[in-house]
Amino acid sequence: MSPLPEKAAFINRIPAFSILPDQVQSEIATLVKTKTVTTGETLFRDTQPAEAVYFINSGKVKLTKSSATGKEILLDIRSKGEVFAEVALFSKPDMTYPANAVILESGAVSYIRSDHLEAYLMSHPELTISLFQLMCDRLRIAQTTLRDVALYGKLSALSTTLLRLAGDYGKIQDNGEIVIPLRLTHEEIGNFFGATRESVSRMMKELSRQGVITRTRDTLTIHNPDQLNEYSTQ
């Protein structure tokens, strides 16, 4: 019997799982739980034990960290079809989640308790390679974010952030423009690289004046990606 749609989507998001026989996929599917989530809900905090790996069936999740002074850094936004909190796998018993996960857009998430998945992987070690590849991809994203933070408040950091969002979520139009279907405030954009809302507003206004971008309530359109690339290297 095939897994339910959301469970099958979770399994197929991990390449090594997607090629498995239906019987094995069904075995893994028995480990998957699903829950509905609403905007503003905190899925987990970075002070809580890392106990599960998550998958987004619908909606969006933002991953954040806060400094001792309360400053929030937006590490990433995950949307439909993406896995997150995979670092919960094979972590020490006292390890916590590496970030806070807050629901940015209502929807549904599936999850597998890490101890249950680890037990299954122990008997199928050949399946772990794709999970390690996924973790490596996440590490590269984290390193990019740290670089952006180091460029605090500069146009280059904003340009790099917009290009990264375009690469992750953008839809290329026939005319070469890129539409990013994310509803982000200037404060949330600034949280990606540690800039204030005011400084982001000034830079976004200047980019709009130059015709590089256009921003609406629900989307951000990059009209001139080459110009952003140029700014990102300054």
1 pLDDT tier (thresholds 50, 70, 90): very low
pTM: 0.66
Average pLDDT of the residues in 128-144: 67
pLDDT surpassing 60 at residue 2:
no
Q: In the listed set 127, 149, 171, which residue is the last one of a domain according to the structure?
A: 149
pLDDT on residue 145: 62
Residues 84 and 189 in one domain: no
Q: In the listed set 95, 114, 149, which residue is the last one of a domain according to the structure?
A: 149
pLDDT surpassing 90 at residue 213:
yes
Residues 124 and 161 in one domain: no
Burial of 43 (0-12, 13-18, 19+ CB in 10 A): buried
Number of H helices, E strands in the chain: 9, 10
Which helix H or strand E contains 222, and what residues bound it? strand 220-222
37 pLDDT tier (thresholds 50, 70, 90): very high
Looking at this protein, which amino acid is placed at residue 73? I
217 pLDDT tier (thresholds 50, 70, 90): confident
Residues 138 and 173 in one domain: no
Q: How distant, in Å, are the alpha carbons of 9, 73, 76, 127, 130 from that of 15?
A: 11, 30, 22, 9, 6
Neighbours of 90 (CB within 10 A): 15
Residues 56 and 75 in one domain: yes
CATH number, position 137: 2.60.120.10
Give me the percent of the chain exceeding a pLDDT of 90.
32
pLDDT surpassing 80 at residue 128:
no
Residues 145 and 160 in one domain: no
Residues 54 and 160 in one domain: no
Residues 9 and 89 in one domain: yes
Q: Are 84 and 101 in contact (CB under 8 A)?
A: yes
Residues 119 and 158 in one domain: no
pLDDT on residue 22: 77
136 compared with 1, residue with greater pLDDT: 136
Residues 19 and 107 in one domain: yes
Average pLDDT of the residues in 191-201: 84
What is the tally of structural domains in the chain? 2
Give me the percent of the chain exceeding a pLDDT of 70.
81
CATH number, position 179: 1.10.10.10
Residues 25 and 123 in one domain: yes
What tokens were used for 226? 């080459």
d(CA 36, CA 42): 12
Residues 58 and 157 in one domain: no
The residue written with tokens 């998945």 in the block is 117
Q: In the listed set 133, 149, 165, which residue is the last one of a domain according to the structure?
A: 149
Domain that holds residue 105: 5-149
d(CA 50, CA 113): 9
Q: Are 44 and 101 in contact (CB under 8 A)?
A: yes
CB environment 104-113: b (16+ within 10 A), e (fewer):
bbebebbbbe
Average pLDDT of the residues in 10-31: 72
149 pLDDT tier (thresholds 50, 70, 90): low
14-23, 92-101, 125-134, 208-217, range with greatest mean pLDDT: 208-217
Ramachandran category for residue 42: left, alpha or beta (phi over 0 → left; psi -120 to 50 → alpha): beta
Nearest C-alpha neighbor of 214 from the set 189, 187, 180: 180
DSSP string for residues in 19-36: TS-HHHHHHHHTTEEEEE
Residues 33 and 89 in one domain: yes
